Amino acid sequence: MRQDWGITDASLVQRYKDGETIYELAESLGRSVMGVYKKLKKAGVTEFRKNRTPPDSRGAKSGRWKGGVSLGYQRARHGNWNQQRALALERDEHACQDCGATEKLCVHHQGDPANHSLENLRTLCSSCHIRLHRLHEARWGTKER
Ligand SMILES: [Zn+2]
Ligand SMILES: [Zn+2]
């Protein structure tokens, strides 16, 4: 795996503790959310939160990843995700907007992952999506479809 994060574990943890979310860190470092999560965990972080202002952290039980850091969970909380996702697929004619593939489609958030407005959503096939997120694990494709 890549090592060069351009940031030490200690400062990553510090930024996280200072209030940045895993999403924000991933974005600003150009890394995958999962990558940041793993790195934080390796660096000794045990408590994971999803937002700047942590809600009741006990509520994160349904998380697919330990600690409740789950996109599915986070999106499910914004009730219209399923609907918006379906609309985005419809608009994009069920085809990857990068390569035109029509299988293993994901609906990607171009910006804020909590913003499900159609302008923020883009249909991608899992390989384009994975490439976009610079992910090495094939996680996104199966989850977000
Ligand atoms: Zn995405
Ligand atoms: Zn594609």
3-state secondary structure 5-60: CCCCHHHHHHHHHCCCCHHHHHHHHCCCHHHHHHHHHHCCCCCCCCCCCCCCHHHH
What are the residue ranges in the chain where pLDDT is below 50?
Answer: 53-69, 77, 136-145
Using CA atoms, how far apart are residues 88 and 68, in angstroms rounded to an integer?
26
Cα of 108 from ligand 2 centre, angstroms: 12
Question: Does 82 share its domain with 134?
Answer: yes
Cα of 71 from ligand 2 centre, angstroms: 21
Cα of 89 from ligand 2 centre, angstroms: 13
Domain range for 99: 77-144
State pTM to two decimals. 0.42
Examine residue 116 and state whether it is found in any structural domain, yes or no: yes
Examine residue 44 and state whether it is found in any structural domain, yes or no: yes
Res 32: pLDDT: 87
Examine residue 69 and state whether it is found in any structural domain, yes or no: no
Question: Does 48 share its domain with 93?
Answer: no
pLDDT tens-digit series, residues 14-32: 888 888 888 888 888 888 8
Q: Which ligand is nearest to the CA of 125?
A: 2
Considering its fold, how many domains does the chain have in total? 2
Res 64: pLDDT: 45
Torsion over CA of 111, 113, 119 and 122, rounded to 10 degrees? 90
Q: Which ligand is nearest to the CA of 26?
A: 1
Examine residue 64 and state whether it is found in any structural domain, yes or no: no
Examine residue 70 and state whether it is found in any structural domain, yes or no: no
Cα of 24 from ligand 1 centre, angstroms: 14
Q: Which ligand is nearest to the CA of 121?
A: 1
Using CA atoms, how far apart are residues 103 and 108, in angstroms rounded to an integer?
15
67 is written with which tokens? 């600690």
Res 125: pLDDT: 96
Question: Does 97 share its domain with 133?
Answer: yes
Examine residue 71 and state whether it is found in any structural domain, yes or no: no
